[in-house]
């Protein structure tokens, strides 16, 4: 992927780190403390939104620790290779926001209902594989009571309660989100961007996470030093290894940063908490150093934030 611009000096992240972290925290605080009145009747939406945003911040903090150079810590060697699944979660959070904002009340209800489906599937698993084990009987019994109570709370129909997998379904993957938007909101201006970032990011992040052949090569080759050095020679291999490691690290960091700023921007575009200027300030800086940030900003956020 084209992530980092090669014709620009490296960005001293410490210069903007505080601004980014304050913006992330402000978004979480606004979601918690200034939840819009028009959504007050949407059950659990406020707590789900602000806790998800705090999980985004937690993910960011984890990635920053795994990739940090300062303070020097030999235990961090190659821990950056563990970041693709974390960054993929940020991608899925961005897709979740864009999807849910098409109809927040209705889709939050659907989101809650899929909890019933998942609990029902868990009970089916437990009964199938553990029904003869006495130590599982209490768990199965308690889970069934929880399921019954959840069905009452969600006001499910008998048909939905009986066959949740087919009548309610499971929460959609990013690809299914795009298909649903095309079906329900064919005129949505978000479709092109959703398809764009799905095509650009999901394939690589998913392959890295699930260790496709390409994912094994990208992440695992750093441990195949014997084979690499036999092929290239020790000195050339060391140079290539250092270059590939730094390139992978920068790709992960800039993908993370671009997704974080996209998440904050989507929240600001929808809720208009007054954070647009702070988001634009960071976009302008980041797009000068990353092709990914530039593409995101130019294709969506420059125009959408300009009107706020």
Residue 101 has which token pair?
């904002």
Q: Give, in order, the Cα–Cα distances in Å from 238 to each of 43, 84, 117.
A: 56, 24, 51
Establish if 138 belongs to a structural domain: yes
The residue among 172, 203, 222 that closes a domain is 172
- My answer on whether 57 and 205 are in the same domain is yes
- My answer on whether 159 and 192 are in the same domain is no
- My answer on whether 78 and 215 are in the same domain is yes
For the four alpha carbons of 272, 275, 277 and 281, in that order, the dihedral sign comes to negative
- My answer on whether 192 and 291 are in the same domain is yes
What is the per-residue pLDDT for 6? 60
Q: Which long-range contacts (CB under 8 A, 24 or more apart) does 107-110 make?
A: 108/42, 108/43, 108/44, 108/45, 108/48, 109/42, 109/43, 110/171
Low-confidence ranges of the chain (pLDDT < 50): none
- My answer on whether 195 and 286 are in the same domain is yes
Burial 3-29 (b: 16+ CB within 10 A, else e): bbbeeeeebeeeebeeebeebbebbbe
- My answer on whether 159 and 237 are in the same domain is no
- My answer on whether 118 and 96 are in the same domain is no
Bridge partners, residue 265, by sequence: none
- My answer on whether 124 and 70 are in the same domain is no
The residue among 172, 205, 224 that closes a domain is 172
- My answer on whether 56 and 165 are in the same domain is no
H or E stretch at 296: helix 291-296
Could you list the residue range(s) of the whole structural domain that residue 42 is in? 13-102+188-306
What is the per-residue pLDDT for 71? 81
- My answer on whether 96 and 230 are in the same domain is yes
For the four alpha carbons of 130, 134, 136 and 140, in that order, the dihedral sign comes to positive
Q: Phi then psi for 290, rounded to 5 degrees?
A: -140, 130
Establish if 6 belongs to a structural domain: no
What is the per-residue pLDDT for 7? 60
Cβ atoms of 270 and 101 closer than 8 Å? yes
Establish if 95 belongs to a structural domain: yes
Cβ atoms of 251 and 4 closer than 8 Å? yes
Establish if 53 belongs to a structural domain: yes
Establish if 177 belongs to a structural domain: no
- My answer on whether 20 and 93 are in the same domain is yes
Distance, in Å, from the CA atom of 294 to the CA atom of 301, rounded to the nearest integer, reads 10
Establish if 235 belongs to a structural domain: yes
Bridge partners, residue 290, by sequence: 4
Establish if 1 belongs to a structural domain: no
Tally of structural domains, the chain? 2
pLDDT digits (tens, 9 = 90+) for 120-163: 999 999 999 999 999 999 999 999 999 999 999 999 999 999 99
Establish if 4 belongs to a structural domain: no
What is the per-residue pLDDT for 5? 58
- My answer on whether 267 and 122 are in the same domain is no
Residue 26: strand, helix, or coil: helix
What is the per-residue pLDDT for 227? 84
């Amino acid at each position: 992927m084209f992530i980092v611009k090669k014709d620009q000096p490296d960005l001293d992240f410490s210069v903007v780190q505080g601004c980014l972290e304050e913006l992330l925290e402000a978004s979480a605080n606004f979601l918690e403390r200034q939840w819009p009145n028009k959504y007050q009747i949407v059950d659990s939406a406020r707590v789900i939104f602000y806790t998800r945003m705090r999980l985004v911040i937690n993910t960011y903090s984890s990635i920053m620790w795994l990739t940090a150079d300062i303070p020097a810590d030999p235990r961090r060697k190659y821990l950056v290779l563990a970041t693709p699944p974390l960054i993929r979660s940020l991608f899925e959070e961005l897709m979740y926001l864009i999807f849910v904002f098409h109809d927040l009340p209705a889709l939050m209800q659907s989101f809650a209902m899929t909890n019933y489906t998942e609990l029902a599937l868990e009970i089916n698993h437990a009964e199938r594989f553990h029904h003869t084990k006495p130590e599982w009987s209490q768990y199965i019994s308690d889970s069934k009571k929880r399921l019954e109570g959840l069905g009452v709370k969600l006001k499910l129909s008998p048909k939905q309660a009986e066959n949740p997998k087919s009548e309610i379904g499971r929460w959609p993957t990013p690809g299914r989100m795009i298909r649903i938007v095309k079906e329900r909101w064919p005129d949505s201006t978000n479709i092109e961007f959703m398809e764009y970032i799905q095509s650009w990011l999901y394939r690589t992040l998913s392959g890295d996470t699930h260790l496709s052949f390409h994912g094994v090569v990208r992440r695992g080759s750093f441990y195949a030093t014997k084979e690499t050095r036999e092929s290239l020679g020790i000195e050339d291999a060391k140079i290539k290894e250092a270059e590939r490691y730094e390139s992978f690290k920068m790709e992960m960091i800039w993908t993370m940063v671009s997704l974080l700023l996209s998440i904050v921007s989507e929240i600001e575009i929808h809720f208009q908490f007054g954070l647009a200027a702070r988001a634009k300030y960071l976009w302008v800086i980041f797009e000068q150093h990353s092709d990914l940030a530039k593409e995101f900003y130019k294709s969506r956020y420059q125009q959408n934030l300009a009107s706020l």
